[in-house]
Amino acid sequence: MKHGDGMKKGWEVKRLGECFKLKSGEALVSNKMQEGDIPVFGGNGIAGYHNEFNLHGSNVIIGRVGALCGKVRHITKKIWLTDNAFHVVDFNYSFDHAFLSYLLNFKNLRNYARQAAQPVISNSSLKEVDLEFPSSISEQQCIVTILNEAFAAIAKAKENAEKNLVNARGVFEAYLQSVFTNPAIGWEKKKLCEVAEIKGGGTPSKAVAKYWNGTIPWVSPKDMKCKEIFDAQDHISMDAIENSSTSLVRSGAILIVVRSGILAHTVPLAITRKDVTINQDIKALIPKKEVAPEFLFYHLSALHKVLLSLANRGATVHRLPSELLGTLKVSIPSLQVQKSIVGKIDNFFSETQNLEAIYKQKLADLDELKKSILEKVFTGELKTEKV
């Protein structure tokens, strides 16, 4: 079929299975992986290195399973391809490989994935995908030139926005350090256990259904992704609290993750804004009446590197011992000074959040621009023929 409705003159409309075949890479047992400098590509990107390569012919590869499922890449170097990805073989039509990569990414092949434990696309699921493309290789290459130039400019803009986002966060962290690193005269140095009660949590039995049909938030590390906790993914009942090791943590407590693989690089903190319960991987710090919760939260945030250094490293799970946490030294001024400091930090934090929102929106807009350009090229809205 040529030149259908809305299609540009000289463009073909064919099903993917008519244009070429897809061939998966080879299974690779990780413990038999050879040491070398050839990247091993699979469903989640580079999975190691090999001393051999197995990608011959086409260098257009499609993630078949995992995080890169449906993602198409034009590989210009030698790689070892695992069976978690396809590459294009046996062409029946002429394609510039860079052009084909752009075209297949435009088709969003992940939409054809079967949803299991993780998305998976099969050879058969892609055979009926319609592909629209110019017959002329020179026109394909012209499109590649246009897209390369446009996407290079977008990539540069994204790089700048990402740097600005990192810088905004860095400025706030530096401000926190300046507040707490050199406490003023009158600040009293104390152990954390002297200014807050340290309270643990637990997990009600999963075998008792009525424990998990309540409305009380049950916070676990997966919920610790923001400054304030208003809810959780899981909820339990009062029966669960009365018959397990977990207990109610009142609003205004500081939650800290004390057992998780994430402690290799981050110690998540949050303030409860609602009564919650917690699991055993979190501790609740309940400030005494002379300590403002927000002040203690910011103080601990400024001590992030110190908290990291206290964590015991395991093979996959790391632990922050309660006895070490309790002996952590903090500096506490009067409650009036605490509230004044919190007000200033809150204002600075709000300004930082506004900046971050601007840069995040900029990144989202740039991603949408890429999609828009692809849409215009492959639906014929953008002139691509050489003149």
Angle at the Cα of 71 from the Cα atoms of 70 and 73, rounded to 5 degrees: 135
Residue 233: per-residue pLDDT = 96
Q: Total domain count for the chain?
A: 3
Q: Do 39 and 79 share a domain, yes or no?
A: yes
CB-based contact 12:1 (threshold 8 Å): yes
CB-based contact 296:284 (threshold 8 Å): no
Q: Do 241 and 256 share a domain, yes or no?
A: yes
382: in domain: yes
Residue 384: per-residue pLDDT = 59
Q: What is the pLDDT of residues 147-170, one digit of tens each?
A: 999 999 999 999 999 999 999 989
Burial of 147-183, coded b for 16+ CB within 10 Å and e otherwise, reads beebbeebeeebeebeebbeebeeebeeebeebbeee
Sequential pLDDT tens for the chain (387 residues): 444 445 577 788 999 999 999 988 888 766 556 677 888 887 677 777 777 777 766 689 898 887 888 899 888 888 888 888 888 989 999 999 999 999 999 999 999 888 766 788 888 889 999 999 998 999 999 999 999 999 999 999 999 999 999 999 899 999 999 999 888 888 999 999 999 999 999 999 999 999 999 999 999 999 999 999 999 999 999 999 999 999 999 999 999 999 999 999 999 999 999 999 999 999 999 999 999 999 999 999 999 999 999 999 887 889 999 999 999 999 999 999 999 999 999 999 999 999 999 999 999 999 999 999 999 888 877 665 543
- SS3 letters for 34-58? CCCCEEEEECCEEEEEECCCCCCCC
298: in domain: yes
Residue 317: per-residue pLDDT = 87
Q: Do 327 and 351 share a domain, yes or no?
A: no
Q: Do 103 and 199 share a domain, yes or no?
A: no
Give the span between the Cα atoms of 174 and 306, in whole angstroms. 15
**Of 135, 169, 199, which residue constitutes the final position of a domain?**
135
Give the span between the Cα atoms of 323 and 128, in whole angstroms. 61
**Of 111, 135, 159, which residue constitutes the final position of a domain?**
135
Give the span between the Cα atoms of 109 and 126, in whole angstroms. 8
CB-based contact 219:282 (threshold 8 Å): yes
Task: Give the range of the structural domain holding residue 129, as residue numbers without chain letter.
Answer: 11-135
Residue 1: per-residue pLDDT = 42
Reduced to 3 states, what is the DSSP secondary structure of residue 359? helix
1: in domain: no
Q: Do 63 and 157 share a domain, yes or no?
A: no
263: in domain: yes
Q: Do 199 and 304 share a domain, yes or no?
A: yes
CATH code, 254: 3.90.220.20
